[in-house]
Amino acid sequence: MNARVLESWAWILFGLLLVGLASALLPSASQSYPMYVAGLAGINVILAVSLHVVNGLTGQFSLGHAGFMAVGGYTAALFGTRIISEYKLMYISEPVSDTILFFFATLLGGAAAGLAGLLVGLPSLRLRGDYLAIVTLGFAEIIRVTIENVEVLGAATGLVGIPPLTNLFWIFFWALVTFLFAKRLQESTHGRALAAIREDEIAAEAMGIDTTGYKVRAFVASSFFAGVAGALLGYYLTILTPRDFTFLKSVEVVVMVVLGGMGSISGAILAAILLTILPEALRPLREHTGVDLRMVIYASLLLAMMLLRPRGILGRQEVWTLLRRRREEAEPEVAP
Amino acid sequence: MTCRQRRGSLDRGVGRSAIPRGAALLVLCAVLALGGCEKKSGARTAPGPGTGGGSSDAAEILFGEVASLTGPEATFGQSQSRGIALAVKEINEAGGVLGRPIRVITYDNQGKPTESAAAAHRLVVRDRVHVLLGEVASSRSLAMAPIAEEHQVPMITPASTNPRVTEGRKWVFRTCFIDPFQGRVMARFAREELGLRRVAVLRDVRNDYSVGLANFFVESFRELGGEVVSDQSYSAGDIDFRSQLTEIRARNPEAIYVPGYYTDVGLIARQVRELGMKVPLMGGDGWDSSKLYEIGGEALEGSFFSNHYSFENPDPVVQGFIARYREAYGEVPDALAALGYDAARLAADAIARVGSLERAAIRYALATTRDFRGVTGTITIDENHNPVKPAVVLEIRNRGATFAKTIEP
């Protein structure tokens, strides 16, 4: 094993340790409002980073993230209300059993969303540009309308009674997994192929890249994590309603990716955190001004960002490459 | 090789200029976020210094309100918010409760359940409100209710009619009647007051409110010896209802029960008349909007709907409320404003009755409310935390709703 591999494993372990420590030391989400918002931010990070794989890395424009989130969320929630609330695993205590089943539920939600991603992706990823956007948008709307009409899923009122099992640990854990997945994908052969497709699909195809295959795989992986985020959200709020999975939710995630910089994981993370905290932080403003300026400020910030820095916060750069470059730049100055 | 070097140096050039700018932006973001945070912690310390457990030594009484001030149902949220604001203003002008003024903290939820949960969480954990008020829509109240339960804060929803909002919950109450009751009221009115025997039902399947009302109407009407001759359905947003209405016409009913929202009902009424049917239509509180008469016009004359209150009610409590509301906002309050007003006053009344700001005491006082005189009727809270109170039936005459009958529970 060379030093590079060791180093990357060390980073992963460090990340896991950090997640464990953070969730052990920080107050729980239900007792502290900032932690509650941190939880929502974590879920949005998962969404933004997973969409980044399709929108930022592969350059395909998907508008259906809310749909995949709904598929995963409702699948996991149904499992929760039907199984976790009723049964427990043999020979182990209830909290442990709940935790194991909950982890399984998030995987199940992710798998369901991934399957949906495969079904949508296989035919539609042969298309290019706007067509994919239209197909995914249509898919998300179909999912939402279906949920509204199905009694078992709670119809328009929402699916209630989901056990409150999502805590900060699970959110941070999945955010870390999503991040690691996206980062390592980006730096792998597979990721280079995806980037090639983004830059020039015809040229990529001429170089022997199976473009449709690569796109579908990226799309399925992205849907999987969207499903996980949906599952986490359901168990976090204990209710899922179709109103949370409208077209606007998909757009919100796209905005996070674009604002962060198309093609930058760290940018997507930063934007997701910023766009979750900002509306919450602006809440007290109403007390002072009397009118709700929250959305006005939010929107003008987006406008300002796009006018002043159309590439997004980080463009295509990553925080770590910027830091490394800065270090490398600093060293030669000392050396000679 | 040279090419690569050049590219490297170019990259570096871009990078160099990008770092300070990126950093500056990050700092800007952080400052913005922190700025907001500071304000928040300021707001937290303001209401009650040294609020350890119950914050019962706070200078003012805090009501936390979650409302859909923006989003597709903004008019609902604004009415609720105005009703609550008016009630609190009046109580404060009369000296407050237990000698303390009430302050309402209102947060917008954009009509989204997730935002409602976040806002409720903030009100309960951060602002440490004594009573949580909201929301109009049942799905959003359902998102708030588990938070009220977990943190043991009494919550009153002014207008969520779905039974599940309070079912099995210790801390959640409401000031509106529930869907089953409203369905029964109309069935009784149709059977006993109008003496009808044959009615048809046209329900909106996309709206659980409409489906609930229709189910309970059908059940009660049959129990009372009536006959439901046709049960048709549509989806909110449909424009053409002629096929369902032709089917209904063939059965020759004496009235049609349409428990939908005003947007669809107006169109349905027009098409009913176009098909030559002269029978009255009947509906629920979803009809209550001035827009109904704009859309439906003459077609609605002689129709009936059940509602929470009538502004023609001569009761001085009602008339006083309407006069003050008109003075403050320049319009006649709708049912949601009246319910919001009652919810805030009920909370204040409970605090005054029990003489304490302990949340458990307030909860107890709310649960044992008897004969509270509100604008929407005399309220007694039953064991399921639903108010036992009358409903009014309104008749549409001259493009307006006139009081027809009060139906006691």
**Which is higher by pLDDT, B272 or A99?**
B272
Q: Evaluate whether residue A166 is within a structural domain.
A: yes
In this complex, is the C-beta atom of A281 within 8 Å of any C-beta atom belonging to chain B?
yes
In this complex, is the C-beta atom of A73 within 8 Å of any C-beta atom belonging to chain B?
no
Domain check: are B218 and B279 in the same one? Answer: yes
Domain count, chain B: 2
Nearest-Cα residue of chain B relative to residue A243:
B112
Q: Which member of A238, A292, A315 has the closest CB to residue B70?
A: A292
Domain check: are B152 and B215 in the same one? Answer: no
R_g of chain B, CA atoms, integer Å: 26
Q: Evaluate whether residue A4 is within a structural domain.
A: no
Residue A97's CB: how many other CB atoms inside 10 A?
Answer: 16
Residue ending a domain, choose from B260, B284, B307: B307
Q: Provide the mean pLDDT of chain A.
A: 85
- Percent of chain A past pLDDT 90, that is, above it, reads 27
Q: What is the pLDDT of residue B22?
A: 52
Rounded to an integer, the average pLDDT of B36-46 is 36
pLDDT class of A297 with cuts at 50, 70, 90: confident
Quote the domain boundaries for residue B121: 61-177+314-389
Q: Please determine, for residue B121, whether its predicted confidence score (pLDDT) is greater than 60.
A: yes
What residues 111-140 of chain A have any CB closer than 8 A to a CB of chain B? none
Q: Evaluate whether residue A22 is within a structural domain.
A: no
In this complex, is the C-beta atom of A287 within 8 Å of any C-beta atom belonging to chain B?
yes
* CB neighbour list of residue B227: distance below 8 Å, 6 or more residues apart: B197, B198, B199
What residues 214-253 of chain A have any CB closer than 8 A to a CB of chain B? 233, 237-239, 241, 243-244
Q: What is the pLDDT of residue B21?
A: 54
Domain check: are B279 and B318 in the same one? Answer: no
pLDDT class of A311 with cuts at 50, 70, 90: confident
Residue A200's CB: how many other CB atoms inside 10 A?
Answer: 12
User: CA A111, CA A227: separation in Å to the nearest integer?
Assistant: 7
Q: Give pLDDT tens digits for A82-95.
A: 877 777 777 777 77
State which amino acid sits at residue B135. E
Weakest-pLDDT range from A145-154, B8-17, B59-68: B8-17
- Beta strand segments in chain A, E: 159-160, 239-240
Domain check: are B133 and B223 in the same one? Answer: no
Q: Evaluate whether residue A23 is within a structural domain.
A: no
Signed CA dihedral, B271, B277, B282, B288: sign only:
positive
Q: What is the pLDDT of residue A47?
A: 94
Q: Evaluate whether residue B24 is within a structural domain.
A: no
- Cβ separation A329–B12 shorter than 8 A: yes
In this complex, is the C-beta atom of A326 within 8 Å of any C-beta atom belonging to chain B?
yes
Interface test with B, best of A166, A236, A241 (most B CBs within 10 A): A241
- Cβ separation B19–A241 shorter than 8 A: no
In this complex, is the C-beta atom of A77 within 8 Å of any C-beta atom belonging to chain B?
no
Domain check: are B339 and B242 in the same one? Answer: no
Q: Evaluate whether residue B274 is within a structural domain.
A: yes
Q: What is the pLDDT of residue A218?
A: 92
- Cβ separation B37–A313 shorter than 8 A: no
Q: Please determine, for residue A174, whether its predicted confidence score (pLDDT) is greater than 90.
A: yes
Q: Evaluate whether residue B296 is within a structural domain.
A: yes
> The domain spanning residue B320 has which CATH number?
3.40.50.2300
Domain check: are B169 and B66 in the same one? Answer: yes
Q: Evaluate whether residue B51 is within a structural domain.
A: no
Q: What is the pLDDT of residue B220?
A: 92
What residues 202-231 of chain B have any CB closer than 8 A to a CB of chain A? 205-208
Domain check: are B172 and B320 in the same one? Answer: yes
pLDDT class of A333 with cuts at 50, 70, 90: low
- Cβ separation B164–A274 shorter than 8 A: no
Q: Evaluate whether residue B162 is within a structural domain.
A: yes
A216 to chain B, closest Cα gap in Å: 31
pLDDT class of B157 with cuts at 50, 70, 90: very high
Please report residues of B whose CB lies closer than 8 A to that of A281: 32-33, 35-37, 39-40
Domain count, chain A: 1
Q: Evaluate whether residue A188 is within a structural domain.
A: yes
Q: What is the pLDDT of residue B237?
A: 78
Q: Provide the mean pLDDT of chain B.
A: 82
Q: Evaluate whether residue B41 is within a structural domain.
A: no
Three-class secondary structure assignment of chain B = CHHHHHHHHHHHHHHHHHHHHHHHHHHHHHHHHHHHHHHHHHHHHCCCCCCCCCCCCCCCEEEEEEECCCCCCHHHHHHHHHHHHHHHHHHHHCCCECCECEEEEEEECCCCHHHHHHHHHHHHHHCCCCEEECCCCHHHHHHHHHHHHHHCCCEEECCCCCHHHCCCCCCEEECCCCHHHHHHHHHHHHHHHCCCCEEEEEEECCCHHHHHHHHHHHHHHHHCCCEEEEEEEECCCCCCCHHHHHHHHHHCCCEEECCCCHHHHHHHHHHHHHCCCCCCEEECHHHCCCHHHHHHHHHHCCCEEEECCCCCCCCHHHHHHHHHHHHHHCCCCCHHHHHHHHHHHHHHHHHHHHCCCCHHHHHHHHHCCCCEEECCEEEEECCCCCEECCEEEEEEECCEEEEEEEECC
Weakest-pLDDT range from B45-54, B87-96, B273-282, B339-348: B45-54
Residue ending a domain, choose from B254, B276, B307: B307
Nearest-Cα residue of chain A relative to residue B11:
A325
* CB neighbour list of residue B277: distance below 8 Å, 6 or more residues apart: B245, B248, B249, B256
A126 to chain B, closest Cα gap in Å: 34
Q: Evaluate whether residue B243 is within a structural domain.
A: yes
> The domain spanning residue A86 has which CATH number?
1.10.3470
Q: Evaluate whether residue A242 is within a structural domain.
A: yes
Domain check: are B172 and B184 in the same one? Answer: no
**Which is higher by pLDDT, A281 or A232?**
A232
Domain check: are B189 and B302 in the same one? Answer: yes
Closest CA to A132 of A62, A68, A48, A216: A62
Q: What is the pLDDT of residue A2?
A: 76
Q: Which member of B32, B42, B142 has the closest CB to residue A239?
A: B142
- Cβ separation A36–B143 shorter than 8 A: no
Q: What is the pTM of this model?
A: 0.77
Q: Evaluate whether residue A173 is within a structural domain.
A: yes
Domain check: are B173 and B185 in the same one? Answer: no
Please report residues of B whose CB lies closer than 8 A to that of A40: 114, 118
Domain check: are B187 and B76 in the same one? Answer: no
B37 to chain A, closest Cα gap in Å: 6
pLDDT class of B38 with cuts at 50, 70, 90: very low
Q: Which member of A282, A292, A309 has the closest CB to residue B69?
A: A292
Rounded to an integer, the average pLDDT of B348-366 is 91
Quote the domain boundaries for residue A142: 32-283+290-334
ipTM of the complex: 0.78
Domain check: are B293 and B346 in the same one? Answer: no
Q: Evaluate whether residue B106 is within a structural domain.
A: yes
Q: What is the pLDDT of residue B45?
A: 36
Q: What is the pLDDT of residue B171?
A: 93
- Percent of chain A past pLDDT 70, that is, above it, reads 96
Rounded to an integer, the average pLDDT of B370-382 is 87
Q: What is the pLDDT of residue B228?
A: 93
